[in-house]
Chains A and B, each alone.
Chain A
Amino acid sequence: DAGVIQSPRHEVTEMGQEVTLRCKPISGHNSLFWYRQTMMRGLELLIYFNNNVPIDDSGMPEDRFSAKMPNASFSTLKIQPSEPRDSAVYFCASSLKGGGATDTQYFGPGTRLTVL
């Protein structure tokens, strides 16, 4: 298996622009997670899907952020409009079952976002 695939790997944009990050989970996995990592705040969970349904989006920082999972093999995280403080590495992860400590998460390589 190719693992979790994320695109783009790097994104540089200007403040106010719309940014869309993409993720393809491991085939057969039922849960998908979006995380954001910064030096200041570490690794934060933004949103978690199970069977394509958003279960917990309490980590989404504000209305500028939205995430969708139209099918089992694709998810997007959109930021509109983007701001410099959104600069971070965004990770997507997937797991086989419904989450929880015993459900190993497999992370993608991340998308490094820079908002100028």
Chain B
Amino acid sequence: LAKTTQPISMDSYEGQEVNITCSHNNIATNDYITWYQQFPSQGPRFIIQGYKTKVTNEVASLFIPADRKSSTLSLPRVSLSDTAVYYCLVGEGNAGNMLTFGGGTRLMVKP
């Protein structure tokens, strides 16, 4: 399984753009990059997934450089409700291959 490294915590203020970078130097050809978000006292929920280049949805954008050894989750104009733990996961898309949740990045959005 590809190992991921992301900052333990980050602080931001309302209205700012937040970028969380995840390193995955030994990512394999068949691996996808997936981000989950976990609010306090809730289970994680899927945010976004990508394989290469850029992916955007209504919640976030995911930037993946050509070498795929890192990825950046971008949250535009965060609000207090974006305070959560963000997990970067790397794994194969095939059935039976499990994802491993690391420690995640604890994002604190301040007023």
Contacts and interface: CB of A to CB of B under 8 A. Distances in A.
A65 to B, nearest CB: 17
Contacts, number: 70
Contacts of A110: 41-43
Given A42-B102, A45-B100, A101 B93 contact: yes
Contacts of A79: none
Interface residues of A, number: 26
B91 A98 contact: no
Interface stretch (B10-18, B44-52, B59-67, B68-76): B44-52
Nearest to B42: A109
Interface residues of B, number: 27
Nearest to A108: B43
Contacts of B44: 43, 91, 105, 107
Interface of A: 4, 35, 42-45, 48, 50, 55-56, 91, 93, 97-110
Given A99-B95, A103-B93, 19 more contacts: A35-B101, A42-B101, A43-B44, A43-B101, A45-B101, A50-B95, A50-B96, A56-B96, A91-B43, A99-B97, A100-B92, A100-B95, A100-B96, A101-B89, A102-B32, A103-B95, A106-B46, A109-B42, A109-B43
